[in-house]
Amino acid sequence: MQQVNMENAQNGEDSTLYDRFAAIIFHYLFQKVSNKQDAEDLLLEVFLAALQDKSLSNLPAEQQLAWLRRVARNKVIDRYRHVALLNLLPIEQALEMEDTALTPEQYTEQQERYERLHQSIAQLTSLQRELIGLRYQSGLRFSEIATVLDKPEGTVRQLFVRTLRQLRTTYEQLERGE
């Protein structure tokens, strides 16, 4: 996971906001859109928004990064709304992958489990899906997720536990055919 050296960012008053944080924000965006050109476009949009916010330069480096991450998150959400795509865990890829070590019956059962999981995730709210993606797809820690979502860490942990419970319940209901 990409870490920010806040000491360098705070001491780097000669460097621009872009110089200090562009690589971090680009890494986040590229994980979300999986296309370099789209990530670069979104990066530009994030820093254009930063230029328009006059109070951003008065914030400490940690808060500047949190602000940029929040804007980046919102830009990604807006992008997906406009193109009507949904970025879930890479279950779609798993559905298409064939494991030749499995018997045909095992393969069919595995595909059914993937489909149930996919359906279960689809029933979560967008915040819950994003939380699952940030934790499992991006590999973020709860403190980092809290920064991205602009919520207290305890709230993020509670939401995560509730999300997993709901996901498990929905999956089990689908498994029983309810």
Residue located via tokens 């915040």: 127
Are residues 141 and 102 part of one domain? Answer: yes
At residue 135's C-alpha, the angle toward residues 44 and 32, to 5°, is: 25
In tens, the pLDDT along 44-65 reads 999 888 888 888 888 898 999 9
Q: How far apart are CA 169 and CA 120, in angstroms?
A: 9
In a domain, 76, yes or no: yes
Q: How far apart are CA 104 and CA 118, in angstroms?
A: 21
What pLDDT was estimated at residue 86?
Answer: 44
Low-confidence stretches of the chain (pLDDT < 50) are 1-13, 84-89
Q: Which residue range is the domain that position 135 belongs to?
A: 91-176
- Nearest alpha-carbon partner for 148 in 167, 127, 163: 127
Domain finish residue from 25, 52, 83: 83
In a domain, 54, yes or no: yes
Are residues 64 and 117 part of one domain? Answer: no
Q: How far apart are CA 153 and CA 69, in angstroms?
A: 16
DSSP assignment of 29-71 equals HHHHH--HHHHHHHHHHHHHHHHH-GGGGGS-HHHHHHHHHHH
Q: Are 111 and 97 in contact (CB under 8 A)?
A: no
pTM exceeds cut of 0.85? no
Are residues 79 and 106 part of one domain? Answer: no
